[in-house]
């Protein structure tokens, strides 16, 4: 973000908080949305962390899919779970992409 934008806001009489909420935050929203989406997608597919922290009684989607394929050999249920996980991830990705493409700050979000 160019430094001149915050200087221009200050020259026009905006305070620190007004500059942040009217200039800095709207310009950084694409990065915030992208970071949120990448974090969410990575958290969906985590397999090791829930298994190590929660043990076998804590089941997240990736852990449940792994259990269904390796322990119970229930391939059809594991495939259905993987499909649901894929569809949820794709829907959220397209929603974030649409919001990111149409947002111009908080006015359209």
Q: How would you write the pLDDT of the chain (109 residues) with one tens digit per residue?
A: 788 888 899 889 989 999 998 888 888 888 888 888 888 777 776 766 776 776 667 777 778 888 888 888 889 998 998 898 889 888 888 887 777 776 554 444 4
Residue 89, C-beta contacts closer than 8 angstroms, at least 6 positions apart: 41, 44
Output the pTM of the full model.
0.57
């Amino acid at each position: 973000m160019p430094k001149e934008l915050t200087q221009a806001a200050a020259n026009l009489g905006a305070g620190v908080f007004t500059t942040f909420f009217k200039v800095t935050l709207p310009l950084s929203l694409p990065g915030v949305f992208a970071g949120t989406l990448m974090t969410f997608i990575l958290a969906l597919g985590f397999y090791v962390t829930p298994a190590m922290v929660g043990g076998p009684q804590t089941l997240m989607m990736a852990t449940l899919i792994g259990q269904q394929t390796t322990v119970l050999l229930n391939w059809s249920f594991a495939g259905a779970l993987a499909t649901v996980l894929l569809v949820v991830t794709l829907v959220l990705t397209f929603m974030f992409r649409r919001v990111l493409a149409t947002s111009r700050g908080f006015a359209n979000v």
